[in-house]
């Protein structure tokens, strides 16, 4: 068996009831009682505990004493105790309560007690401890060495009582019925699922963009599938620090934001998950500005267990998980290994309700909700080919020659298309429908709009993982440890059928009845579905390897035990992604080019490519649409960390010993990426043309940029009052002081890119001349970096307090100052400033104008293109961003109502000089006036006229996030078993941004791209003998869509029956209804170590509330899980 709770202690006091030896804890534990309490043996408790099951009885004792009691699952559910009435000290009460039960308890620290089922000694387990004499005291027993434990948010032994930590054991997670960590965080009311396996298709990347700077989630480098992250409080995945066993792990490969990919963390290996919502920069460093998630892995296991789980999804997204956990212990050490493999299927879009791109039946009659294709389809949409010889544009008369342009006579047409059922055989010009397409001033559609929905969302994925942990005692006080962690996530997703645009079909083509060259826009849907053309797809591979080694030495000093720890870790992640697509053109150097264009020009219908029909009469030459890879995109993140720390106790104050922790850390982060351009470089005839300068070298001027961080930290716990010297109204009073100084050093380039124009031959294919070329020139990118060194260093302080006016009520409060240094891309860049024209305002016709409210003549409209737009790729004047974090929380276990617990937490994070990108504000008429008043963005002449805007990283004045959360639960026993109902309410009080100190605020709270205003969660646990049932109900409110780059009115929409449009170019609002889902988990335990779980998520198959996204499924993937109703069965066998 394995140890389930890891708290800071090396030695414990052990009581054995019966002639049995102790195992470590079972697969899951239930935490009862208040954190941060003190197990004071001198305090006398007045108890009235009735005979009942051990779990609920111990909960009553925990509530009365304020001590945290941890109970293994078999101890709490199946053992009855006789009860206890009278006055007892805590140790006496605990020993008396467990008499004749074969249960054992042990102290892991002064405020934590573990209770477990004692078992006969087995090979490799701890030595047998004789039953104590009835008169013997607990203090006389031999201490038991326990592995040093990890507590989130502090390095102090026993934890930081002033910090609110949410802990979810493996058992807690299992009760929610989730199969992976992505699903677990979907259930957390404090997490915003911005980057998941289901948001890959939304917005063009694997994210929901809530903002524009590095603190928000931005598009994944390369192809975004196969990535899922934690985003606490909607502050952005980069601001949530993810740890494993208290150590940093490498983030997603190639992502400078360094956020960890949850898909590389196997749930089977997790002992528990700890979440701290407030910033923790004073402990972990500047990137813990928005919260901490710590995954504690299974260690110190003895025995063998296996688990198998299968899930059945109503939208075909089935999944399977299998794992094996084994461990062996010898007299002076142990080793444990977890092996896990998970497979999952993608979501079938049609089963989510996404069956058509025409969504007017859902959202209304307005034309914006009809997203069918009007210039492409199957049969193909053709237009007459017009050849426009190259001529230099008026704004750049010196531009280099390029091949001629082939296009339709105009944007609106005319276009020609056969009816949907026509194969193209025997077609004449008269068989084609002729039409024009326009959006303004009146919307006119094609006669046969093409309606195609991507077959899948989510991914076809396989994750394989292995975690090995070793520890060996060299002496009684010296222990060495090591760990290896490896995981590989492979993902695949079938993409949309490729749209082949503006393919030249010569007049000689056997299927071309027009007698002239034509351009055809074609979707080869039939060919893809029937194997004539390989189906397009995206794929990605994410691999992570971690290794750590260290030692821990316990020694006595200052009259108390001290602990010295040295820890070395190295973790690296790789990510490679690519796309597989058909190819509609060929360069002359392509070995398939001759056959391709021969088939395109062939007058033989058995050979010629047919782009005019519905695909059923396709020439054999269609196989020449060979596929190609877009990419690959490659990235790697590596973290090397060296840490030395010492902790223990110094001296005694009025309330007890002063605890401390001090140490230093050196960390090196290396993050780099490469990308291959999708441009057809085979058409460029020059050996020195280098298209491959993308990724890190272009962004920073360094091929493998690194950041070195030197840190020093210290923590101090000062106990002013304890129950031993309690005062009226003050049962205990503790103060914690924490501080950490981080110094970040990095190197990059400020400019240095030079485009050297080299002579080339630019090849192209012409339907009359065949292959031809033009003599031209091409800018070859050369990087001559202007390297500069940066150093950012600040101290992050924290002050915390825990105050207990009475034994069963604990109040906590803290303040912390966090800082975050600019990223490489915030600061560095090789490209020199580029000048273009401003992009705010409507393209044509009426629309919301962009206003400069600071013009000396008063508010003035700035038409699109009227002023310069300067793109700055590096920002050496960018400043660090800061945040002040305030936290207040309490826990109340009223002794008068055993089993009742009420807790609440308030968190406020106030950013100053937060880094964002001005591009997020300069393209929108609503935010343009707020941005141009900032001198970092608006460029003005001496008179004050706006003459240019800067696209750049800049510091905004303020960003504020404020949260309140409260929970209440009550456990009680009946003759039908024990019940625990719970209610959790979470509300965001504020979530705003202010660009300048005196500017209006912007908020996404209660909007599509922001947090819900509030959430409810209710649950009920029922335990009866071997059976347990858990029901969870989740509620999120509705919200209004609109003014979020949403749908807008056309002139033709005005006056339509049922239309909400009163004028054109006005945004349409849409209310997304609320969502309530219910989950159920049933557990049954057998005598032979077998445990069976069954149940479901969204068991009532609640459909998605309709939400609008441009051309995407009509639901919000951050609110509704598109796996729909998921039923599962899981079998665990402890051998």
Of the candidates 643, 504, 25, 567, the residue with the CA atom closest to the CA atom of residue 298: 25
Kindly indicate the confidence band of residue 810, based on its pLDDT and cuts at 50, 70 and 90. very high
The pLDDT of 346-374, averaged and rounded, is 90
Model confidence at 209: pLDDT above 60: no
In contact, 704 and 670? CB cutoff 8 Å: yes
Tell me how far CA of residue 605 lies from CA of 407, 618, 770, 828, 989, in angstroms: 25, 8, 21, 57, 68
721-772 tens-digit pLDDT: 999 999 999 999 999 999 999 999 999 999 998 888 888 888 889 999 888 8
Q: Out of 105-119, 157-171, 904-918, 997-1011, which region has the weakest mean confidence (pLDDT)?
A: 105-119
CA distance 132 to 119: 16
1071-1085 tens-digit pLDDT: 999 999 999 999 999
Q: Facing residues of 797 across strands?
A: 739
User: Tell me, what's the pLDDT at 110?
Assistant: 52
Tokens of 111: 């405020």
Helix (H) or strand (E) holding 994: strand 977-994
842-895 tens-digit pLDDT: 655 456 788 999 999 999 999 988 999 999 989 999 999 999 999 999 999 998
CA distance 1107 to 1040: 9
Strand-pair category, 456-457 with 347-348: antiparallel
Homologous superfamily, domain 168-300+460-493+541-577+633-678: TonB-dependent receptor, plug domain (2.170.130.10)
User: Tell me, what's the pLDDT at 14?
Assistant: 31
Tokens of 603: 């007058």
User: Tell me, what's the pLDDT at 602?
Assistant: 94
Model confidence at 1052: pLDDT above 90: no
**Secondary structure class of 373 (helix, strand, coil):** strand
625-682 tens-digit pLDDT: 655 556 678 889 999 999 999 999 999 999 999 999 999 999 999 998 887 654 444 4
Instruction: Kindly report, as residue ranges, where domains of CATH 3.55.50.30 are found in the chain.
Output: 11-149
C-alpha atoms less than 13 angstroms from C-alpha of 649 in its C-beta half-sphere: 17
Kindly indicate the confidence band of residue 1126, based on its pLDDT and cuts at 50, 70 and 90. very high
Q: Out of 37-51, 418-432, 612-626, 811-825, which region has the weakest mean confidence (pLDDT)?
A: 37-51
CA distance 296 to 273: 6
Give 1025: exposed, middle or buried? Use CB within 10 Å, 0-12, 13-18, 19+: exposed
Q: Where are the beta strands (DSSP E) in 676-786?
A: 706-721, 732-749, 753-766, 770-783
Strand-pair category, 1002-1003 with 1027-1036: unpaired
DSSP tag of 826: H
User: Tell me, what's the pLDDT at 121?
Assistant: 36
CA distance 223 to 496: 14
Give 656: exposed, middle or buried? Use CB within 10 Å, 0-12, 13-18, 19+: buried
Helix (H) or strand (E) holding 377: none
User: Tell me, what's the pLDDT at 4?
Assistant: 32
Model confidence at 127: pLDDT above 70: no
Of the candidates 368, 374, 370, 379, the residue with the CA atom closest to the CA atom of residue 412: 374
DSSP letter string, 410-468:
SSS--EEE--TT--STT--GGGSEEE--B-SSS-B--SS-B----SEES-EEEEEEEEE
Kindly indicate the confidence band of residue 220, based on its pLDDT and cuts at 50, 70 and 90. low
Model confidence at 1018: pLDDT above 90: yes
φ/ψ of residue 1087, rounded to 5: -70, -30
455-490 tens-digit pLDDT: 888 889 999 999 999 999 999 999 999 999 999 999
How crowded is residue 642: how many other Cβ atoms within 10 Å of its Cβ? 15
313-345 tens-digit pLDDT: 999 999 999 999 999 999 899 999 999 999 999
Model confidence at 40: pLDDT above 70: no
Tell me how far CA of residue 541 lies from CA of 183, 267, 570, 866, in angstroms: 20, 19, 20, 46
Model confidence at 784: pLDDT above 60: yes
DSSP letter string, 5-25:
---S-SEE-EE--SS-BPP--
User: Tell me, what's the pLDDT at 673?
Assistant: 85
Please state, for a pLDDT cut of 90, what percent of the chain lies above it: 52
Instruction: Kindly report, as residue ranges, where domains of CATH 2.170.130.10 are found in the chain.
Output: 168-300+460-493+541-577+633-678
Q: Facing residues of 768 across strands?
A: none
Residues 6+ apart with CB under 8 A from 817: 281, 796, 797, 798, 882, 883, 884, 885
CA distance 466 to 545: 10
pTM: 0.84
Please tell us whether the domain made up of 11-149 is placed in CATH 1.10.10.10. no
Tokens of 145: 């060495």
The mean pLDDT of the chain is 84
In contact, 887 and 905? CB cutoff 8 Å: yes
Model confidence at 683: pLDDT above 70: no
How crowded is residue 100: how many other Cβ atoms within 10 Å of its Cβ? 9
368-399 tens-digit pLDDT: 888 888 889 999 999 999 999 888 877 677 78
The pLDDT of 806-811, averaged and rounded, is 95
1086-1123 tens-digit pLDDT: 988 899 999 999 999 999 999 988 778 899 999 999 99
* pLDDT, greater one: 121 or 219: 219
Could you give the dihedral angle defined by the CA atoms of residues 825, 828, 832 and 838, in that order, rounded to the nearest 10 degrees? Answer: 40
* pLDDT, greater one: 942 or 587: 942
User: Tell me, what's the pLDDT at 134?
Assistant: 38
């Amino acid at each position: 068996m394995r140890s389930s709770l890891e708290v800071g202690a090396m030695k414990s006091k052990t009581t054995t009831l019966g002639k049995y030896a102790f195992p470590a804890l079972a697969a899951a534990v239930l935490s009862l009682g208040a954190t941060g309490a003190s197990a004071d043996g001198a305090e006398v408790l007045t108890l009235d505990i009735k005979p009942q099951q051990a779990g609920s009885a111990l909960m009553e004792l925990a509530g009365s004493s304020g001590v945290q009691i941890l109970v293994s699952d078999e101890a709490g559910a199946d053992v009855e105790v006789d009860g206890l009435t009278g006055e007892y000290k805590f140790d006496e009460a605990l020993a008396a309560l467990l008499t004749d039960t074969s249960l054992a308890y042990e102290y892991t620290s002064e405020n934590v007690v573990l209770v477990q089922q004692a078992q006969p000694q087995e090979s490799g387990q701890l030595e047998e401890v004789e039953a104590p004499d009835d008169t013997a005291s607990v203090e006389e027993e031999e201490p038991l060495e326990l592995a040093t434990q990890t507590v989130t948010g502090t390095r102090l032994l026993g934890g930081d009582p002033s910090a609110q930590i949410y802990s979810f054991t493996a058992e807690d997670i299992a009760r929610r019925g989730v199969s992976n960590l992505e699903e677990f965080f979907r259930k957390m009311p404090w997490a915003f699922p911005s980057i998941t396996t289901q948001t890959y298709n939304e917005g063009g990347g694997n994210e929901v963009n809530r903002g524009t700077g590095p603190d928000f989630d931005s598009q994944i480098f390369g192809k975004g599938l196969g990535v899922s992250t934690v985003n606490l409080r909607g502050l952005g995945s980069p601001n949530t620090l993810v740890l494993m066993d208290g150590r940093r792990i490498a983030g997603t490969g190639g992502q400078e934001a360094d956020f960890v990919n949850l898909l590389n963390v196997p749930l089977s290996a997790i002992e528990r998950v700890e979440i701290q919502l407030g910033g923790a920069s004073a402990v972990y460093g500047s990137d813990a500005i928005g919260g901490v998630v710590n995954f504690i892995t299974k260690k110190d296991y003895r025995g063998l267990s296996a688990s198998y789980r299968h899930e059945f999804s109503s939208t075909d997204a089935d999944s399977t998980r299998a794992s094996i956990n084994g461990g062996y212990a010898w007299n002076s050490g142990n080793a444990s290994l977890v092996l896990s493999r998970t497979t999952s299927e993608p979501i079938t879009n049609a089963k989510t309700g996404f069956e058509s791109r025409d969504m007017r039946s859902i959202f209304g009659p307005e034309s914006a909700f009809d997203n069918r294709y009007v210039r492409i389809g199957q049969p193909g949409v053709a237009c007459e080919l017009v050849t426009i010889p190259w001529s230099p544009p008026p704004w750049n008369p010196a531009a280099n020659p390029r091949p001629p342009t082939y296009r339709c006579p105009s944007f609106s047409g005319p276009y020609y298309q056969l009816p949907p059922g026509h194969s193209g055989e025997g077609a004449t010009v008269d068989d084609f429908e002729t039409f024009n397409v326009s959006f303004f001033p009146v919307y006119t559609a094609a006669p046969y709009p093409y309606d195609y929905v991507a077959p899948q969302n989510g991914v076809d994925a396989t994750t394989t993982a292995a975690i090995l942990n070793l520890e060996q005692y060299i002496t009684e006080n010296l222990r060495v440890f090591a760990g290896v962690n490896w995981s590989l996530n492979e993902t695949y997703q079938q993409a949309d059928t490729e749209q082949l645009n503006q393919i030249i079909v010569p007049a000689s083509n056997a299927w071309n009845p027009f007698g002239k060259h034509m351009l055809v826009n074609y979707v080869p849907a039939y060919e893809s579905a029937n194997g004539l053309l390989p189906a397009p797809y995206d794929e990605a591979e994410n691999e992570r390897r971690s290794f750590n080694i260290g030692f821990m030495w316990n020694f006595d000093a200052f009259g108390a035990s001290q602990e010295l720890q040295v820890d070395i870790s190295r973790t690296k992640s790789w990510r490679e992604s690519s796309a597989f697509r058909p190819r509609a053109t060929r360069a002359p150097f392509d070995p398939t080019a001759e056959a391709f264009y021969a088939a395109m020009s062939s007058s033989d219908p058995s050979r010629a490519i047919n782009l005019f029909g519905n695909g059923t009469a396709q020439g054999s030459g269609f196989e020449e649409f060979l596929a190609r890879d877009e990419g690959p995109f490659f990235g790697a993140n590596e973290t090397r960390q060296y840490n030395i720390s010492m902790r223990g106790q110094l001296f005694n104050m009025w309330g007890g010993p002063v605890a401390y922790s001090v140490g230093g850390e050196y960390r090196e982060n290396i993050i780099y990426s490469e990308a291959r351009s999708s441009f057809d470089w085979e058409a460029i005839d020059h050996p020195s043309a280098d298209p491959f300068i993308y990724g890190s070298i272009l962004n920073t001027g360094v091929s493998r940029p690194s950041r070195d961080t030197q840190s020093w930290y210290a923590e101090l716990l000062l106990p002013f009052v304890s129950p031993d010297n309690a005062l009226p109204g003050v049962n205990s009073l503790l103060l914690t002081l924490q501080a950490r100084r981080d110094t970040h050093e990095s190197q990059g380039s400020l400019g240095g890119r030079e485009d050297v124009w080299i002579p080339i031959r630019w090849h192209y294919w012409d339907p009359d001349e065949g292959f031809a070329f033009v003599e031209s020139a091409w800018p070859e990118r050369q990087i001559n970096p202007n390297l500069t060194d940066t150093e950012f260093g600040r101290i992050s302080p924290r002050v915390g307090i825990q105050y207990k006016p009475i034994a069963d009520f604990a109040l906590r409060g803290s303040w912390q100052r966090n800082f975050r240094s600019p990223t490489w891309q915030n600061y560095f860049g090789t490209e020199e400033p580029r000048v273009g024209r401003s992009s705010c305002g409507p393209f044509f016709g009426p629309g919301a104008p962009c206003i400069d409210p600071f013009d000396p003549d008063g508010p003035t409209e700035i038409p699109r293109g009227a002023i310069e737009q300067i793109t700055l790729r590096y920002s050496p004047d960018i400043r660090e961003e800061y945040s002040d974090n305030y936290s207040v929380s309490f826990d109340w276990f009223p002794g008068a109502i055993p089993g009742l617990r009420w807790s609440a937490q308030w968190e406020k994070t106030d950013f100053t000089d937060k880094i964002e990108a001005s591009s997020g504000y300069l393209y929108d008429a609503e935010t343009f006036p707020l941005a141009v008043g900032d001198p970092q963005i608006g460029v003005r002449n001496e008179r004050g006229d706006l003459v240019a805007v800067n696209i750049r990283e800049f510091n905004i004045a303020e960003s504020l996030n404020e949260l309140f959360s409260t929970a209440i639960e009550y456990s009680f026993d009946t003759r039908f078993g024990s019940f625990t109902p719970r209610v959790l309410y979470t509300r965001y009080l504020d979530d705003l941004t202010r660009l300048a100190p005196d500017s209006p605020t912007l908020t996404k709270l209660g909007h599509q791209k922001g947090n819900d205003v509030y959430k409810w969660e209710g649950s009920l646990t029922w335990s009866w003998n071997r059976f347990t049932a858990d029901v969870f109900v989740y509620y999120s409110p509705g919200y209004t869509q609109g003014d979020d780059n949403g749908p807008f009115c056309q002139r033709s929409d005005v006056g339509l029956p049922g239309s909400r449009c009163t004028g054109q170019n006005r945004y349409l609002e849409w209310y997304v209804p609320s969502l309530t889902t219910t989950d159920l988990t049933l557990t049954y335990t057998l005598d032979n170590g077998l445990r069976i779980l069954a149940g479901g998520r969204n068991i009532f198959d609640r459909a998605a509330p309709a939400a609008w996204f441009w051309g995407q499924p009509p639901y919000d993937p951050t609110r509704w899980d598109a796996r729909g109703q998921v039923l599962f069965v899981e079998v665990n066998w402890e051998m």
